[in-house]
Amino acid sequence: MGERNEALAMAQREADFSKVDRTRLVEALAAALPAQCLLHAQEDLQPYECDGLSVYRQVPMAVVLPRTEAQVVAVLRICSEQGVPVVARGSGTGLSGGALPHAHGVVLSLARFNRILELDANARIAVVQPGVRNLAISEAAAAHGLYYAPDPSSQIACSIGGNVAENAGGVHCLKYGLTVHNVIRVRAVTINGEIVEIGSKAPDGPGYDLLALMHGSEGMLAVVTEITVRLTPKPRLARCILASFDDVAKAGDAVAAVIAAGIIPAGLEMMDQPATAAVEQFVHAGYNLEAAAILLCESDGTPEEVAEEIERMRVVLEASGATDIRISGDEAERLKFWAGRKAAFPAAGRISPDYYCMDGTIPRKRVGEMLLAIQGMEGKYGLRCINVFHAGDGNMHPLILFDANQPGELDRAEAFGADILELSVALGGTITGEHGVGIEKINQMCSQFTTPEIETFFRVKAAFDPAGLLNPGKAIPTLNRCAEYGRMRVSNGQLPHADIERF
Amino acid sequence: MDELIREWRDRVRATASRGESLQLRGGGTKDFYGRAPVGEILDSRDYAGVVAYEPTELVITARCGTPLADLQAVLAERGQELPFEPPAFDEGATVGGCVAAGLSGPRRSSVGALRDFVLGTRIIDGRGEVLRFGGQVMKNVAGYDVSRLMAGSLGTLALMLEVSLKVLPKPVAERTLRFELQQAEALSRLNAWGGRPLPIGASFWHDGALSLRLCGAEAAIDAAGRELGGEVIAADEAAALWRDLREHRLPYFRSGGALWRLAVPTDAAVLPLDAPVAVEWGGAQRWFCGELAAKRVREVAEAVGGHATLFRGGDKGDGVFHPLQATIARINRRVKEALDPQDVFGRGRMYPVD
């Protein structure tokens, strides 16, 4: 045992990969892969230049689309030997630029790992490849009365591998948990090309909880090639309450009151008035446009259980000052209530040329304060913001509306977003609940963590990836970056990163 | 910074510089678990108390030395609980020890394990640095999940100062049903029931009887009771059963021999172990109390894709925890080094030092 130095070198400043030899790399990859699994012509690389966060773009040196685990091993060995950065990519729906290519690196697309390998209804598990779409698992399990619970809003397109990389949530995670609570095993390849099994069908494996580390690790520890998920019995019935409030703070208090009453709703979502106005134009969900905020409050279970819980929730919401309460009478009406919430992002895209989605999580009781502060920021930056919010777990998605073609608007939107993230930290929360840090929020990580904490993250990374080749430059900022960013967390009265050169 | 934390930091640094080891210890109720603790004792009970509890946020933050029973009493006042039902195993169990041991009780199969409820920690690492990871919110993907790593680490990674745990309301109602069944039939039914939307909270099979604990809304339990049949057990008798199971106070766990815990897929068939077993977690946790070579027990677990832990008693000479695959073992060692490069904490408690 003892101190190792590579992690600290990594933590200090971003590695320089400009010496990567493109010709040598492409030759080695071409020798290891069938021709259709390797892209290196400029026009073929273009589609991979960004993920769901398209303000950041970078064309990689090469894109590989392996079909087998042996090919993944071969690619990683080559990159390891030649010191080439590797960015793993699923469906490319990520919202934080986690799959943004590296200029001197390879994008490893897992799009062809798209098969469900095993679905065991009796054991209630599915073994899937990482490129399988989230929703495809539930579709395959439906015949057995089962489903895969985490349901990020992009579930129709996003891959389960990406869900592991970001520890994706969704609208039902207060009751059913995040990805980390629903994945029991991953099989992965390390940067050296070694295959590891982390977790298993048996619970609570020996050793440290590496499965927890893999979740939300943004492709920086190992490349996942197989995932075993837990399937959940589909509830017999779900019903939803649509409650209107004339005041945002009252809606926030109602959320707390529901939970204080001992109820864990299957879903608990809030939208503010600008958000309901935006969606109602496109999806006629029947939201009360007079309301300052609406809550969607869902119950699922047996018909008896749902009837009992809906009644308890109705009483609490009424006592909390709801001005209007509607309860879905049938499945069609329930889906109509949800249609508005699920259309929030597309609606933002239709009322504004561009929008920028935030992802901070704050303690629920601070929601009123946050919304008020956001109103102030709208004035400060001269931009509108609509708010949708996983109220049950405090995860907010303010959507900042802007037009990238107007000079200065993108910069103002980014500054607006950075303000929201820093306020999230100041209110006792975090800069990202479920979208990941990626490249987008990397500077704000400097506000959330101190120098020794950031060094610890680099050491954890080095435990898996000593050379720092997996997705370098993402998720965890170098100390130099933090010094340049200049907005660091002061802890215990000491200036953090005090030992770093400043520019 | 708290005077005590300064003192502990200095002590960690001094111990590291001497190349020695510290045994992080609360009430000592889990001393039996894992390999023998070594090193000077650092008593976490000096740092106790609930730091923050906000029932409507479903989060409690407590100092490591807080008695587990105190924390549970604070939650109970507001109708909430730690739903993974951690075993105390004796009076004096602390919150820090509970998280470090990483053990979950009867409801683990329905609500999740202890690690699923860890939201954040404040620690002193092996360099004597005070670090904070995670937080007090349910969803948080900023940085690697170092706080969850503390669960089950047996005090080998860091000294946990504080931990934030997600809590939940207690179930509105509970009912325990009993079925006379042989093990194979019980396993088959547990797996079949597990695939249906039934409010099953916990299960326990031993000696020809399956006990099934329903937890949830009154109406759901009534409906499930009609659907499942079985004999309804009196509430106080049921409460005693689940408590004694969790605390290993049932006679089965007190027979004195080596107690093995085999974690297996729920649908694994009856294991070829030639002594009575007890089954929990819908089939995923199987206790085995008998004299069998460690190698043989591990083979039995591995044959069905599981793993085995020598939980209590027996000969620890052949290791306590299931051997790790070589690459995983290397990553484990490097994770340990990342947090505790001089091996100050819990030396050799999980695996022998090489």
Place of tokens 């933090």: A482
- Collect all residues with Cβ–Cβ distance below 8 Å to A249 and sequence separation of at least 6: A368
User: How many angstroms separate the CA of residue B26 from the nearest CA in chain A?
Assistant: 21
Q: Which residues of B touch A234 (CB under 8 A)?
A: 197
| Torsions phi, psi for A94 (to 5 deg) | -55, 150
Question: Is there a contact between A430 and B142 if contact means CB atoms under 8 Å apart?
Answer: yes
For A281, the 3-state DSSP assignment is coil
**Closest chain B CA to residue A421:** B142
CATH for A237-344 (2.30.30.30, 3.30.70.2190, 3.40.1410.10, 3.40.50.300): 3.30.70.2190
Name residue A396's beta-bridge partners.
A389
What amino acid occupies position B172? V
* A355-374 burial: b if 16+ Cβ within 10 Å, else e: bbbbbbbbbbbbbbebbebb
Closest chain B residue by Cα to residue A424: B137
Structural domain boundaries of chain A?
A: 116-233, 237-344, 352-440
Residue B323's CB is within 10 A of a number of other CB atoms, namely: 15
Cβ atoms within 10 Å of B239's Cβ, excluding its own:
14
Query: Residue A487: what pLDDT?
Result: 54
What digits encode the pLDDT tens for the residues A339-378?
A: 899 888 888 888 999 999 999 999 988 888 898 899 999 9
CB contact under 8 A, A210 and B137: no
Cβ pair A474, A100 in contact under 8 A:
yes
How much is the pLDDT for A494? 45
* Stretches in chain B below the pLDDT threshold 70: 1
Confidence of residue A491 (pLDDT cuts 50, 70, 90): very low
Question: What residue type is A70 in one-letter code?
Answer: A
Residue at B109: amino acid letter: S
Give A 277-296 residues with CB within 8 A of chain B: none
Spatial CB neighbours of B200, under 8 Å, sequence gap ≥ 6: B110, B193, B194, B212, B213, B214, B215, B224, B282
Query: Which residues does chain A have within 8 Å of residue B115's beta carbon, measured at their own beta carbons?
Result: 209, 212
- Is residue A191 a contact partner of residue A162, using CB atoms and an 8 Å limit? no
| Angle (deg, nearest 10), helices B326-339 and A451-464 | 170
Closest CB to B56 among A7, A209, A364 = A364
Nearest residue of B to residue A184, measured between CA atoms: B265
- Residue in A with minimal Cα distance to B111: A176
CA distance A126 to A137: 8
At residue A127, what is the residue type?
V
Q: Cα-Cα-Cα-Cα dihedral of B345, B346, B347, B350, to 10°?
A: -130
Q: Note whether A78 and A22 are within 8 A (CB).
A: no
pLDDT of B256 reads: 81
**How far apart, in Å, are the Cα atoms of A336 and each of A121, A134, A239, A266, A272?**
31, 22, 12, 17, 18
Residue-wise pLDDT for A434-458, tens only, equals 999 999 999 999 999 999 999 999 9
Chain B residue whose CA is closest to A253 = B56
What is the residue-averaged pLDDT of chain A?
Answer: 93
Fold of A352-440: Alpha-Beta Plaits (3.30.70)
- Give the model's confidence band at A492: pLDDT under 50 very low, under 70 low, under 90 confident, else very high: very low
In angstroms, the CA A181 to CA B113 distance is: 9
Helix, strand and coil content of chain A, in percent to the nearest 5, comes to 40, 20, 40
Q: What local confidence, expressed as pLDDT, does residue B191 receive?
A: 98
Position A159 pLDDT exceeds 50: yes
CA B339, B343, B345, B346 dihedral sign is positive
Q: CB A208 to CB B152 under 8 A?
A: yes
Q: Which amino acid is at A493?
A: G
Q: How many CB atoms lie within 10 A of CB A412?
A: 16
Inform me whether the pLDDT recorded for A236 exceeds 80.
yes
Helix H or strand E segment including A249: helix A248-260
Out of A201, A302, A449, the one facing B305 most closely (by C-beta) is: A201
Fold agreement between A116-233 and A237-344: no
**Predicted ipTM of the assembly:** 0.97
- The two structure tokens encoding residue B173: 């109602």
Do A457 and B143 make contact, defined as CB atoms within 8 angstroms? yes
Three-state DSSP state, A146:
strand
Residue A341 in contact with residue A283, Cβ under 8 Å?
Answer: no
* CB contact B196 to A (< 8 Å): yes
Q: Distance from B48 to chain A by nearest Cα, in Å?
A: 21
Chain A nearest C-alpha distance from B152 (Å): 7
Integer-rounded Cα Rg, in Å, for chain A is 23
Strands (DSSP E) found in B181-258: 200-206, 209-216, 231-233
pTM: 0.96
Task: Identify the CA nearest to B152 among candidates B104, B99, B199.
Answer: B99
Residue by residue, DSSP assigns A385-413 as EEEEEETTTTEEEEEEEE-TTSTTHHHHH
Distance CA B192, CA A287 (A): 41
Of B143, B152, B169, which has the smallest distance from its Cβ to A262's Cβ? Answer: B169
> Using an 8 Å Cβ cutoff, are B61 and B75 in contact?
no
**Average of per-residue pLDDT across A406-428:** 93
Does A436 reach chain B within 8 Å, measured CB to CB? yes
* Structure tokens that stand for B81 in this block: 């609980």
- Alpha-carbon gap, residue A91 to A111, rounded angstroms: 7
pLDDT in the model for residue A499 = 46
Give the model's pLDDT for residue A5. Answer: 73
Put simply, whether B136 touches A (Cβ < 8 Å) is yes
Structure tokens that stand for B251 in this block: 């006679």
- A97 residue type, one letter: G
Asked if residue B189 lies in contact with residue B196, where contact means CB atoms within 8 angstroms, the answer is: no
Residue B201 contacts A, CB cutoff 8 Å? no
- Left (φ > 0), alpha (ψ -120 to 50) or beta: where does A336 sit? alpha
CB contact under 8 A, B325 and A196: yes
Nearest partner of B104 among A154, A209, A406, A186, judged by Cα: A209
pLDDT digits (tens, 9 = 90+) for A4-57: 678 888 999 999 999 999 999 999 999 999 999 999 999 999 999 999 998 899
Distance (Å) from the alpha carbon of A253 to chain B's nearest alpha carbon: 10
Q: Which residue has the higher pLDDT, A468 or A500?
A: A468
Domain at A116-233: CATH code? 3.30.465.10
Q: Which of residues 272-331 of B touch A (CB under 8 A)?
A: 281, 284-285, 301, 305-307, 309, 321-325, 327-329, 331
Window 361-390 of A: residues touching B by CB (8 A cutoff) are 361-365, 390
| A143, A392, A388, A358: CA torsion to nearest 10 | -100
CA-to-CA separations, A128 to A141, A161, A179, A469, in angstroms, rounded: 12, 9, 14, 26
